[in-house]
Amino acid sequence: MSAPTSHAKLLNWVDEIAQMVTPDAIQWCDGSQGEYDRMIQLALDAGLATPLDPVKRPNSYLFRSDPSDVARVENRTYIASTSPDNAGPTNNWIDPEVLKTTMRGLYKGCMAGRTLFVIPFSMGPVGSPIAKIGVEITDSPYVVANMHIMTRVGSGVLKVLGTDGEFVPCLHSVGKPLASGEADNGVWPCAPLDLKYISHFPEERMIWAYGSGYGGNALLGKKCLALRIASVQARDEGWLAEHMLILKLTSPQGKVRFVAAAFPSACGKTNLAMLVPTIAGWTVETVGDDIAWMKFGADGQLYAINPEAGFFGVAPGTSMKSNPNAMKAIERDTIFTNVALTSDGDVWWEGIGYDPPSGEVVDWKGKSWQRTEAAAHANSRFTARAKNCPAIAAEWQDPAGVPISAILFGGRRPGTIPLIHQARSWQHGVFLGSIVGSEVTAAALDVQAGTVRRDPFAMLPFCGYHMGDYFAHWLRIGETPGAKLPKIFCVNWFRKGADGKFLWPGYGENSRVLKWVFEQCEGTGQSIETPIGIMPAPGAIDAPVGLTNAAMAELLDVNRAGWLQELDDVRTKHYNKFGDKLPSALVAELDALQARLAA
């Protein structure tokens, strides 16, 4: 087909790649429903997709990936900056020219027997001053269909791009060429693990991925562009590209505040973004569940957009109790990957809140489920349109973004870290973000159980440059002339009592903590000064029914000995990784907090 653009750089790039990968055909994507339907039909014809019951789950499909291709491959993810010092100690670095030589060898002829799809996409509302444009080349109909849901695809993007606009080139292949007459025949196409590459070239604003057809390895607008490349763009252009949800909080009086929050995986980020409050008169609506891009407006406020158009959520544990809005969003028009299939043509996973119906259950590997292993893979996913979420905020597509009043950081910590505390200043808040971590469980074999795995700003796997420089960038943002900076808080829903049980009920009850955050932003909150920061005064947070005064006191206790141990861990096992790139301001915050606790 002829190209629907006269953008010379884009046309030359597509031609250059096509000559290298030698596809049977080239198709430019227009983002239409008909195109989406054709991609699904291609997957059905190849035996890679299973239609779900059209009454129970309209226009929804189940895919099963290869067992080697079920999650992000962090050890095969590279930041190929011009020098290893630019990548820093927390990223995998390879010399960019060496990596390109290796990957060009893999790409040569890799799309034989397949169609090369060109996907023009916008991260953020098309035409937004905060949005960025990418173009992904792929040989996977599964990727095209998912990109339809997760981004804004089509001719409108090319119109904004014009004849010379900036775009991020994203090259992807499943790495499984087909011989003449060969077909996938129900076998998920991908390359072996040691040939998978997820490569980022920050200075060139370019992404090359090979060998994986799954998730963040293949949907290159997601973690690759929206965080790893965008974090470098944000540093250079003076804004923030963050692994954060965005929610809209409305009081009974109709006053609105927008909150962004960063949590490492398995800490309830999507659940908080779609929370159903338990306090009368308050509402929570969703702007985004995973990524926030934030830029200063002319009024000095930090405005955020959700650069995505859908949710790529983890299925296990998602239920009507944990996240009713997500469950309603996936009732139709959804792609499921690596969940179980029930005898009545529906999906099922562990933690869905009910037993599967009688009859055979087919597990995520396509086998009859024997109940000795999980029916759904632990990282199984749903890809759902944000517009189908009943809690989606009216402002979620506002090209100007929404003004952020508060930023929350949090991790899964059974002790020491209280339910909530507020930073004393922006600099203190950056310090809190820089030491975020979660306690490692026995399931993580590479780290001793009970230790803390630090994930600063929940960005450890996603920052496209040296994290010491990233901390410095956050500090510089705080020095922006005329800035009306959000207040910064640290939360911990996972503190446990002496009996090993969670003290805080979580889920919708987290709205009680959000209410105090709201009040602090309004200047009406009841608070006290403590060595670790500003905390709720006694009675300032409305306790859930059944939570004792003693439990609430324990949740808000400042454990001085525990905090001193925490700071020692930060100093000796975390901050020392960053060498002379660790900002002195953060060391000063560490020293000051230690002194306050020891006083």
Query: Which residues belong to the active site?
Result: 267
d(C-alpha 248, C-alpha 316), whole Å: 26
Query: Which residue type, as a one-letter code, is found at position 566?
Result: E
The gap from C-alpha 360 to its chain's centroid, in whole angstroms, comes to: 34
Q: Give the largest Cα separation in the chain, rounded.
A: 77
Query: Which residue type, as a one-letter code, is found at position 215?
Result: G
CA-closest candidate to residue 125, choices 157, 164, 147: 157
- Cβ atoms within 10 A of the Cβ of 440, count? 17
d(C-alpha 73, C-alpha 181), whole Å: 31
Supply 424's token pair.
């004393």
- Output the 3-class SS for 441-503: CCCCCCCCCCCEEECHHHCCCCCCCCHHHHHHHHHHHCCCCCCECCEEEEECCCCECCCCCEC
**Token match 């996907």: residue?**
119
Supply 325's token pair.
């809005």
The 10 Å CB-count burial string (b at 16+, else e) for 266-291 is: ebbbbbbbbbebbeeebbbbbbbbbb
Q: Would you give the end-to-end CA distance of the chain in angstroms?
A: 73
N residues, the chain: 599
The burial of 331, by beta-carbon neighbours within 10 Å (0-12 exposed, 13-18 middle, 19 or more buried), is given as middle
Q: Are 464 and 86 in contact (CB under 8 A)?
A: no
CA dihedral 347, 353, 356, 362 (to 10 degrees): 40
Beta bridge partners of 247: 259, 286
Using CA atoms, how far residue 492 sits from 68, 451, 513, 556, in Å, is: 34, 16, 10, 10
Beta bridge partners of 152: 122
The DSSP symbol for 398 reads -
CA-closest candidate to residue 517, choices 540, 545, 543, 500: 540
d(C-alpha 252, C-alpha 70), whole Å: 43
Supply 85's token pair.
């010092």
Using CA atoms, how far residue 220 sits from 57, 77, 188, 455, in Å, is: 27, 12, 19, 22
The β-bridge relationship of strands 25-28 and 115-123 is parallel
d(C-alpha 490, C-alpha 424), whole Å: 11
**Token match 């040691």: residue?**
194
d(C-alpha 405, C-alpha 257), whole Å: 6
Q: Are 330 and 383 in contact (CB under 8 A)?
A: no
